[in-house]
A and B are shown apart, each in its own frame.
Chain A
Amino acid sequence: MLATDHAAVELRGVTKDYGRGQARVRALDGVDVDFPTGSWTAVMGPSGSGKSTLLHCAAGLERADTGQVVLRGTEITRAPDAALTELRRADIGFVFQNFNLIGSLTAEQNVALPLRLAGVRVSKREIRATLTSVGLGDRARHRPRELSGGQQQRVAIARAMVARPPVLFADEPTGALDSSSARVVLDLLREMVTDTGQTIVMVTHDPLAASSADSVLFLSDGRIVDRAARPSAKDVADMLAGLEDGERHGREA
């Protein structure tokens, strides 16, 4: 099913600037990186290091100024809006820090939404099964505001799972959760990688979350400065602290 000879997502020499003239800031500075198919990569870095921009560019939500982004074999940097929409329907899922559920819809309606938008007929059973798999089989008819933060994030993950998108982009998925809810969410993400071979690109601040991933990328000033395979949470925390110190010294010097 997957084009295994490609990485799921590739970035080649991607740069991205914000602002003009004096206020110009380089958010990404010639980033080259592969996200292999069926892997889970965490992207870390101090605030303003460009990790969110990396995620946005990789997912086609922002256009890179220069360089190429190839998503499952398709070059998306110059793709028109309609093509990007098709991509979001078939190939990409999202999980956000603040859950981003539609408040007026029930949990099951939220989960079914991506398929409905794509015009795919979905059975209630399938939706219920997905909700059950995230442990919320009995909450199908609840609206988001009737659920806890952890439960809302699990609904959001069910929404990202239901269409089985090959690539899932997660933006601080545990950022708003307590540690036990975070654990549940991370376990669910792991299942997606091992059971269905999905690729996850996750931006996070949380060393514990990052240590659940297969590898961790470290960004600083828009460049990839380090990469670690299956580090422990403590290793991640130390590396991040080192980067933040480095930036601080850099600024003071």
Chain B
Amino acid sequence: MVRLSWSGFRERWQLFVGAILSVAVGVALVQASLQIMAAAGDPPIPEGLDPLEEAQIRDNYDGAATLMGIAMVIAAFLAIFIVSSTFAFAVAQRRRDLALLRVLGARRRQLRRLLLCEGVLLGLCGAALGFPVGFAAVRIQRWLLTELEFLPDGFATPWAGWHTAVAAGTGLVVALLGVLAASRRAAKVRPLEALLDTGRAGRMMTLPRWIFGLLMLASSVGLFTAARSEGADTDVAVATSMGLAITGGLALSMLSPLVVPLAGRVLGLLGAVSAVGRLAEANLRDGVRRSAATAAPLIVLVALLLGLAGSLGSLAVAAGEEQQQMIDGDLIVESTGARTEKLASLDGVAVVSSQISVPMIVTITVDIGDPEELEEEVFSSGIVAVEPDAYRRTHRQEALAGSLDELSGSAIAVTTSPGYRVDLGTTVTARVLEQVSEREFSPTVVAVLPETLSGSDGILVPMDLFTPEERANWPAHAVVQLEPHADPDQVVEAIRSADLGVTRSVEEWASAQTAEQQDENVGVLVVLMGLSGLYAAMAVVNAVVISSAERKREFATARVTGLTRQQVVRSALIEAWAVTAIGVCLGGVIVAGTMTGIAGGIERTLGAAVVDVPWELAGAVAGGAFVVITVATWASVRAATRIAPIALVSARE
């Protein structure tokens, strides 16, 4: 059986190239991610850092490790997806051979084993190829993470044997999981099919596909309804809509054998004027396996990438909008503690609220809903010292419990979160982390503030807890209200000439914050989704190459019927473009659902439906998909039509 697997594998290596490469990339990524995670899990912390810097470095390392963990899981899942669709093709192509084996006395179990053996071979090849690629991958990921400032320059990621062992094992498991469904399908091939001239292609919509597809569709409808429901605020809407991007993409990709031909019919009504165009349209509807296999990864990619980018982007825009709504001021000055305190003395300035970032670690014991267990939440950023009175005059924000009026002395105001509850009167531990003034104290919670989208200024402490000397060099921003008749330009000029900081309008400041958040989003998306994009491209190229090779005889028949080679290529290209358009549009439907859901949540929270549709990214994805598919189709159809058609038409299998 192993020999039969091996010979089948060798005979059809072109069919498996895509799958081997995707396993290899998966293995390489797992190895690289493990290497980085292992190094970041026990990172070298430079000597002589103060505790706050150390905490932030550890945070970054944790972020890098989390990101790598997610990337690893995505890589493994996508590799399974590609391997399974490759083997689905392989089984479809070989039904006759498999049926013949049954005629010759093979048991169902033996066919299953045959396919599983091929899966193992594929996994081994992928692992062998992935091992050297892993060393390149670790460089690329280290570079990316350094660019994104998760890792410091010169971060070392030593290699250990177990990284490779785990990666290779993952490769094997991925290949076996990928081949599992195909092996079951192979075992169902009836021996009679060996005798029938036209091998009946297996059904595309198998029962598990129906079940999983409809389940995902039902979840998507549920999530969309939840996102649009009255009670859904921005958090709920974003969470459900991001879920919708995943389930919706999976649903349409599972149901693609139904949906894609249907969309092809709609497209056919629009176009198909020439004979070549009509042939392409007929082929699109006829070659369901082919069109579905090409469109499915595109649907998932568009839904996931644009859905997530749109969600995160909208959240950032909404956070900016919320800041603008919340801040009641004319100018924002970014500066240091000492200099913002001088702003009040300038002509034309009515109110100044300084928010000074305190280098402090706050540990709060919170109620997570379990009476038996209390949990400690540790905060090391977003802790600001404020003058309560000035803060309240410049911020339209009501405490959920308690009051900011009481924020003086040993007091603290904290922001609530969906994950836990903080009660008034709770005593927290606060540790100031500056070498000159390191100390610890225990303020009491006097106010619980509503959660904000931006998550900034999450914890407020009274200004008078710190001496002016301490506050002097801490970074700060101040909200400035002007006198009714003051000239803003004069005030800005006065601030500039007194060197008290960088002045911006509230709107400018909020959008700068939004842009910063979005840059960070883009970085994270690049790491995670760049990977998915790579896999989607591999899956699409894989489907195109396999199906073109499969269509040699069909192309030859078209040519002996009178089409030129150019017309055959053009017809295949038109078909491929139509499939691309369908894939992108169907993915777009999911993205539209996601954005609608988010828009509703944001509108309910802020009273305005601000969303950020990632048009540029959408353009790049669609353009990239068209380029990749065009090149792959052109090259593979050229290759499939190289031989004189008559040789193929008259040849026997």
Q: Do A and B originate from a single complex?
A: yes
A-side residues, CB < 8 A to B, are: 52, 56, 61-62, 81-82, 85, 88-89, 94, 96, 98-100, 102-105, 109, 113-114, 116-118, 149, 159, 171, 176
Closest 7 CB pairs of A and B: A104-B11, A89-B105, A104-B7, A61-B192, A114-B104, A88-B105, A117-B106
Are A85 and B106 CB-contacts (below 8 A) given A56-B192, A62-B192? yes
Give chain B residues whose Cβ lies under 8 Å from the Cβ of A113: 4, 101, 104
Q: Which of A100, A104, A116, A117 contacts B96 (CB 8 A)?
A: A100
Are A100 and B105 CB-contacts (below 8 A) given A109-B7, A149-B652? no
**Cα distance A88–B106 in the bound complex, in angstroms:** 9
Q: Most B CB atoms within 10 A — which of A103, A104, A109, A118?
A: A104
- In contact, B108 and A81 (Cβ under 8 angstroms): yes
Query: Looking across the interface, which residue of chain A has its beta carbon closest to that of B651?
Result: A145
Give chain B residues whose Cβ lies under 8 Å from the Cβ of A89: 105
- In contact, A176 and B97 (Cβ under 8 angstroms): no
Are A61 and B652 CB-contacts (below 8 A) given A52-B195, A56-B195, A100-B194? no
Asked if B200 CB lies within 8 Å of chain A CBs, one says no
- In contact, A117 and B101 (Cβ under 8 angstroms): yes
Asked if B553 CB lies within 8 Å of chain A CBs, one says no
Query: Looking across the interface, which residue of chain A has its beta carbon closest to that of B105?
Result: A89
Are A104 and B8 CB-contacts (below 8 A) given A61-B103, A117-B110, A118-B105? yes
Give chain B residues whose Cβ lies under 8 Å from the Cβ of A81: 108
CB distance from B553 to the nearest CB of A (A): 14
Interface residues of B, dominant DSSP: helix
Q: Which of A61, A99, A117 contacts B191 (CB 8 A)?
A: A61
- In contact, A96 and B105 (Cβ under 8 angstroms): no
**Cα distance A118–B104 in the bound complex, in angstroms:** 9
Give chain B residues whose Cβ lies under 8 Å from the Cβ of A117: 101, 104-107, 110
Are A105 and B7 CB-contacts (below 8 A) given A56-B192, A96-B194? yes
- In contact, A171 and B195 (Cβ under 8 angstroms): yes
Give chain A residues whose Cβ lies under 8 Å from the Cβ of B101: 102, 113, 117
- Mind listing 16 A-B residue pairs with CB under 8 Å? A52-B195, A61-B103, A61-B191, A81-B108, A85-B108, A100-B96, A100-B103, A100-B194, A104-B8, A104-B11, A105-B4, A113-B104, A114-B105, A117-B110, A118-B105, A149-B652
Give chain A residues whose Cβ lies under 8 Å from the Cβ of B190: 61
**Cα distance A56–B135 in the bound complex, in angstroms:** 57
**Cα distance A171–B196 in the bound complex, in angstroms:** 11
Q: Which of B100, B102, B192 contacts A102 (CB 8 A)?
A: B100
Query: Looking across the interface, which residue of chain B has its beta carbon closest to that of A98?
Result: B652
Asked if B372 CB lies within 8 Å of chain A CBs, one says no
- In contact, B108 and A88 (Cβ under 8 angstroms): no
B-side residues, CB < 8 A to A, are: 3-4, 7-8, 10-12, 96-97, 100-108, 110, 190-192, 194-195, 197, 652-653
Query: Looking across the interface, which residue of chain B has its beta carbon closest to that of A149?
Result: B652
Query: Looking across the interface, which residue of chain A has its beta carbon closest to that of B8?
Result: A104
**Cα distance A118–B96 in the bound complex, in angstroms:** 20
- In contact, A61 and B195 (Cβ under 8 angstroms): yes
Give chain B residues whose Cβ lies under 8 Å from the Cβ of A62: 192
**Cα distance A96–B194 in the bound complex, in angstroms:** 9
Give chain A residues whose Cβ lies under 8 Å from the Cβ of B653: 98, 103
**Cα distance A98–B8 in the bound complex, in angstroms:** 20
- In contact, A88 and B191 (Cβ under 8 angstroms): yes
**Cα distance A159–B100 in the bound complex, in angstroms:** 12
**Cα distance A100–B97 in the bound complex, in angstroms:** 8
Give chain A residues whose Cβ lies under 8 Å from the Cβ of B10: 104
**Cα distance A89–B105 in the bound complex, in angstroms:** 5
Are A85 and B102 CB-contacts (below 8 A) given A52-B195, A104-B8, A104-B11? yes
**Cα distance A61–B192 in the bound complex, in angstroms:** 5
Are A88 and B104 CB-contacts (below 8 A) given A61-B191, A171-B195? yes
CB distance from A218 to the nearest CB of B (A): 21
**Cα distance A25–B10 in the bound complex, in angstroms:** 43
CB distance from A240 to the nearest CB of B (A): 21
Query: Looking across the interface, which residue of chain A has its beta carbon closest to that of B107?
Result: A85
Query: Looking across the interface, which residue of chain A has its beta carbon closest to that of B103?
Result: A94
**Cα distance A247–B108 in the bound complex, in angstroms:** 42
Extra 16 A-B pairs, beta carbons < 8 Å, given A61-B103, A100-B194, A116-B4: A56-B192, A61-B191, A61-B195, A85-B106, A96-B194, A98-B197, A102-B7, A103-B11, A103-B97, A104-B8, A104-B10, A105-B4, A109-B3, A117-B104, A117-B107, A159-B104
Q: Most B CB atoms within 10 A — which of A100, A103, A114?
A: A100
Q: Which of A88, A103, A104, A105 contacts B103 (CB 8 A)?
A: A88
- In contact, B97 and A102 (Cβ under 8 angstroms): yes
CB distance from B274 to the nearest CB of A (A): 35
**Cα distance A149–B652 in the bound complex, in angstroms:** 9
**Cα distance A96–B7 in the bound complex, in angstroms:** 23
**Cα distance A118–B106 in the bound complex, in angstroms:** 7
CB distance from B133 to the nearest CB of A (A): 28
**Cα distance A113–B96 in the bound complex, in angstroms:** 16
Give chain A residues whose Cβ lies under 8 Å from the Cβ of B102: 85, 88
**Cα distance A114–B100 in the bound complex, in angstroms:** 10
Give chain A residues whose Cβ lies under 8 Å from the Cβ of B96: 100
**Cα distance A19–B101 in the bound complex, in angstroms:** 27
Give chain B residues whose Cβ lies under 8 Å from the Cβ of A61: 103, 190-192, 195
CB distance from B41 to the nearest CB of A (A): 47
- In contact, B7 and A85 (Cβ under 8 angstroms): no
Give chain A residues whose Cβ lies under 8 Å from the Cβ of B110: 117
**Cα distance A94–B182 in the bound complex, in angstroms:** 27
Query: Looking across the interface, which residue of chain B has its beta carbon closest to that of A81?
Result: B108
